Amino acid sequence: MRAVDIIIKKREGEELSRSEIEFFIDGFTRGEIPDYQASAWAMAVLLRGMTERETTDLTMAMAHSGETLDLTGVVPIAVDKHSTGGVGDKTTLVVEPVVAACGLPVGKMSGRGLGFSGGTLDKMESIPGYRTNLSREEFIEQLRTEGLVLTGQSGDLAPADGKLYALRDVTGTVPSIPLIASSIMSKKIAAGAQAIVLDVKIGLGAFMENLEEGRVLARTMVAIGALSGRKVVALLSDMNQPLGWAVGNALEVREALNALRGSGPEDFREHCLVAAAHMLVVGRKAANLNTARTMAESALESGRALESFRRLVQAQGGDVRYVDEPDRLPQAPLIETVPASRAGYLLGINAREVGETSVELGAGRARKEDPIDHAVGIEIHHKVGDSVEAGQPLFTIHANDAAKLAAAKTRLLAAHQWSTEPVQPLPLFYDVIGG
């Protein structure tokens, strides 16, 4: 078997066998198949596509390219949630403590932000001392004893995915749905997930801007789940405007803590409750979504979810005073609230522009090695469809530099679009696939 023959076969639009896919991924992982051949193969996949069976075989080959976690003896069922990334998406910080407080253990390996989409680990590191580099043994023990873990992904899990993604990023092959789906699912499977809730973001502030393409991606990942013996549900959610109000690491942690205390923006709270309810159902903790919703609401209202988050922070070395007193979280030296210059209805708030502006302030990375300023960011004060009076607060900028603040103000004003006529609010969710 030769790599070039596999490339040609896919170039011609033929279906690859499981053994061919495993041969290619194994050889690439071990360095026997060079980058230029892997790049050619990825382009062939982009142009020719893959069947559900091929995509599942690719997923499993990448999942087993390194170490895998077996959690069957640790928890009754290993449940995970994955978001494809968005602006202001801090749902993990609320959803997983809620689910854990309902008695369903959650062990999550998360990532860092790159580009306009923030990373969960960066947000959690706003809390001094919080460890995001737990060992495999620490992960398992904390999941067993605390029922909740939130840490970084081990480099030993699905190494083929990391190698392949680095090539895709520089060869124009990132948009391939089979490659996106296998990348996401291989990491979840390698981390031991048996049931998965996927939050597939759709819109200007998401990787998938087109709803139909989002549906295809969601269906592909649900199919991978079915063919690999995993229960997968995909939520298609809106990302044309930021989720919640806060964009930026410490700001988002503060907003998540507010939600855990029963306050904060309604869209964020509702999004978290929907995602948590689906996790409780796939995790067989609730028989249906109505029961699951009631359980999730009770966990929030009783304070059990907040206590679950507190225990998580304590278990991973974080300073719990920052949970009890959120005002301790990092605060930027320059804070300016910008008022609306006109009255009208908000027609749009470009989520991508908000996210990229946050990066320019220092809240995110343009490159992997860029430092993060946990204190800076943006708070928006209105949602699409709101009626706004002239002079009302429109957004607040948290900055560390006057020039960056001025540039952010100009950019954010342009990101808000207006109408003189009433505007329908954007939906939180478009569809649910699987379940």
- Encoded tokens for 61: 């080959």
Has 370 been annotated as catalytic?
no
Strands 344-349 and 387-388: antiparallel
pLDDT of residue 222: 96
Among 262, 287, 286, 282, which Cα is nearest to 272's? 262
Domain boundaries, the chain: 3-63, 79-325, 331-419
pLDDT of residue 156: 82
- Encoded tokens for 119: 């990373």
Active-site hit among 65, 183, 186, 358: 183
Strands 195-202 and 79-83: parallel
331-419 is a CATH 3.90.1170.30 domain? yes
pLDDT of residue 370: 77
How many whole angstroms separate alpha carbon 263 and alpha carbon 419?
Answer: 29
Active-site hit among 57, 80, 89, 161: 161
Q: Do the domains 331-419 and 79-325 match in fold?
A: no
Has 168 been annotated as catalytic?
yes
Among 63, 72, 118, 123, which Cα is nearest to 93's? 123
pLDDT of residue 114: 60
Query: pLDDT 10s per residue in the chain (435 long)?
Result: 899 999 999 999 999 999 999 999 999 999 999 999 999 999 999 999 999 999 999 999 999 999 999 998 899 999 999 998 889 999 999 999 999 999 999 999 887 766 666 689 999 999 999 999 999 899 999 999 999 999 987 778 899 998 998 898 889 998 899 999 999 999 999 999 999 999 999 999 988 889 999 999 999 999 999 999 999 999 999 999 999 999 999 999 999 999 999 998 999 999 999 999 999 999 999 999 999 999 999 999 999 999 999 999 999 999 999 999 999 999 999 999 999 999 999 999 999 999 999 999 999 877 667 789 999 999 999 999 999 999 999 999 999 999 999 999 999 999 999 999 999 999 999 999 996
Considering the domain 3-63, what is its CATH architecture?
A: Up-down Bundle (1.20)
Sheet with 393-399, side-by-side order of all strands: 246-247, 377-380, 393-399, 334-339
Strand pairing partners for 327?
A: none
- Encoded tokens for 402: 């006057």
Strand pairing partners for 349?
A: 416
Active-site hit among 108, 168, 278, 398: 168
Among 271, 243, 272, 267, which Cα is nearest to 379's? 243
Active-site hit among 81, 90, 108, 187: 187
Has 82 been annotated as catalytic?
yes
Active-site hit among 10, 64, 81, 82: 82
pLDDT of residue 88: 94
Which CATH topology does 79-325 take? Pyrimidine Nucleoside Phosphorylase; Chain A, domain 2 (3.40.1030)
